[in-house]
Amino acid sequence: MKYEAVIGLEVHVELKTNTKLFCGCRNEFGKKPNTLVCPVCAGMPGTLPRLNKEAVNLAIKAGIGLNCKINKFSRFDRKNYYYPDLPKGYQTTQYEMPLCTDGYIDIGGRKIGIERIHLEEDAGKLIHEEDKTFVDFNRSGVPLIEIVSRPDIRSGEEAALYLKKLRGILLFTGVSDCKMNEGSMRVDVNVSVRPKGLSFFGAKTEIKNINSFQYTQEAIGYEINRHIELYENGKTPENETRRYDEKSKKTYTMRAKEDSSLYMYLPDTELVPLDISEEEIDEIRKKMPLLPEEREKMYVKEHGLSDFDCENILQEVHFAEYFEEAAKLSKDAKNSANLLITQIFSLLESDKVIKIKPLRLAEVSNLMTDEVINSSTAKKLLEKLWEEDFDVENYVKENKLFQINEKDVLSRYIDEAMEENQKIVDDYRKGKKKALKALTGIVMAKTRGRANPRLLNTLLNEKLG
């Protein structure tokens, strides 16, 4: 029998605000436990929430970026449950009337529906030790949006693609920094499997808190196979919550799935409803930055970049901004993109900060375009620029790094190289084509990397005959 997987994703994303959703405490990661708390986010008696305008704006931005309907009326509800990291005994969220509904993400021709985006607060964090658990409320009240997809995803690959697109949109709209390692982006997956062509839903398992897109893809793949295997053996998967173990690449039972009808929801009457006008939404729409997809189109059309180039540059907002700045100053933006991806990205450290000014990349790239320097010089220059900033043209002049474009000068270097490496020349003539590369390398070394590569190639071929 043919099977089909039905997959839905619930993605929690922390919003990039200065302060928490309902109080003025800082929204920061990695501070000493319980130093970013106040009576409101600690759930002290009698305190009241005060809604952060910026959080609402960012949620609207996300909604616009994800092609959602922004609802005029929305409201906050309380989701009541007990857990030590939940100070009020309920999470303030949007249950009945979410801010955004009915959007989609295009994953290369196929639209994955987004059911809803709602605004809510994060809980604190538990720190487990051998015999006790510590509670840290620094994260309590940090603004989140939850993006709930429709069950339109059919494979782990599609899920990863959806997540990549989603992350790109959220990054470029400035909604979130989407750092999975810091928990500012968290993915829960719902998987079920059914015989292809039928429309009912099979038993559903939920996989919680997966750490990367790669693992999400793997976990889904594993889970689909596990379900199919069970069905093939006449068994049914349990409705349950599972976790993915990255080492064994398997999922394991965590607990039986909570019966969602047992959650106690109630409108939050400490807060007033939201009534967002068309004008307000338009105002935000006008200020929307270009989304990755729009940027990709622009890169291809205006600069002739490849899909590969685009994907690399659009990984991070500051990469894209860097490229766009350099492209403006470049005679050949495609060449700048190549240098950025092949040379500069290889120098990046874990913070992903680019230590070269976009202007310098453009200068290096332009000298290449004008055939003043060659690519190996460009590489050296960029490595040097990573250490310190300097005027590229002056530096090239002072250090005589000009490309050797003169036929006779280069010929002399080639002759010298061939004399000194008779064996390689013989090899080549015997049919060992690889020897050409070796000779090219030797001439390059002799010229301190300055030979015009095209000219060198022509001359070598001529001389080797």
Show the site string, 86-115: x = touches another protein by CB under 8 A, - = not: -xxxx-------------------------
The smaller minimum CB distance to another protein, of residues 80 and 306, is found at: 80
- Region from 84-92, 219-227, 303-311, 431-439 binding another protein, contact rule CB under 8 A: 84-92
Question: What one-letter code names the amino acid at 212?
Answer: S
Contact status, residue 95 vs residue 75, Cβ threshold 8 Å: no
DSSP state of 346: G
Show the site string, 213-252: x = touches another protein by CB under 8 A, - = not: ----------------------------------------
The smaller minimum CB distance to Zn ion, of residues 38 and 288, is found at: 38
Please compute Rg for the chain using Cα positions: 29
270 binds, among Zn ion, another protein, none (CB under 5 to 8 A by kind): another protein
Contact status, residue 348 vs residue 354, Cβ threshold 8 Å: yes
Task: Report CA torsion sign: 15, 17, 23, 28.
Answer: positive
| Residue from 6, 9, 15, 23 binding Zn ion (CB under 5 A) | 23
How far from the centroid of its chain's Cα atoms is residue 162's Cα?
11
Beta bridge partners of 73: 275
Contact status, residue 65 vs residue 284, Cβ threshold 8 Å: no
Closest among 143, 144, 251 to 206, alpha carbons compared: 251
Q: Taking CB under 8 A as the criterion, which residues in 271-310 touch another protein?
A: 271-276
The smaller minimum CB distance to another protein, of residues 198 and 266, is found at: 266
At 102, list the tokens: 């009915």
DSSP state of 96: S
Q: Which residue has the tokens 């036929």?
A: 407
Q: Taking CB under 5 A as the criterion, which residues in 25-84 touch Zn ion?
A: 25, 38, 40-41
Q: Which helix (H) or strand (E) holds 156?
A: helix 156-172
Show the site string, 2-31: x = touches another protein by CB under 8 A, - = not: ---------------xxx---xxxx-----
Least Å from the CB of residue 89 to another protein: 2
The set of residues, in sequence order, having a beta carbon less than 8 Å from that of 457 and lying 6+ positions away, is 440
The smaller minimum CB distance to Zn ion, of residues 48 and 409, is found at: 48
The smaller minimum CB distance to another protein, of residues 25 and 418, is found at: 25
Q: Which residue has the tokens 């969220």?
A: 93
The smaller minimum CB distance to another protein, of residues 135 and 329, is found at: 135
The smaller minimum CB distance to Zn ion, of residues 26 and 384, is found at: 26
C-alpha dihedral (26, 30, 33, 35), degrees to nearest 10: -30
Q: What angle do CA 245, 246, 251 make, to 5 degrees?
A: 30
The set of residues, in sequence order, having a beta carbon less than 8 Å from that of 454 and lying 6+ positions away, is none
Show the site string, 48-67: x = touches another protein by CB under 8 A, - = not: xxxxxxxxx-----------
Least Å from the CB of residue 278 to another protein: 14
The yes or no reply on residue 134 touching another protein (CB under 8 A) is yes
Least Å from the CB of residue 166 to another protein: 24
378 binds, among Zn ion, another protein, none (CB under 5 to 8 A by kind): none
At 323, list the tokens: 């490229």
| Contact residues: another protein, CB under 8 A | 17-19, 23-26, 33-34, 37-39, 42-56, 75, 78, 80, 82, 84, 87-90, 126, 128-137, 254, 261-262, 264-267, 269-276
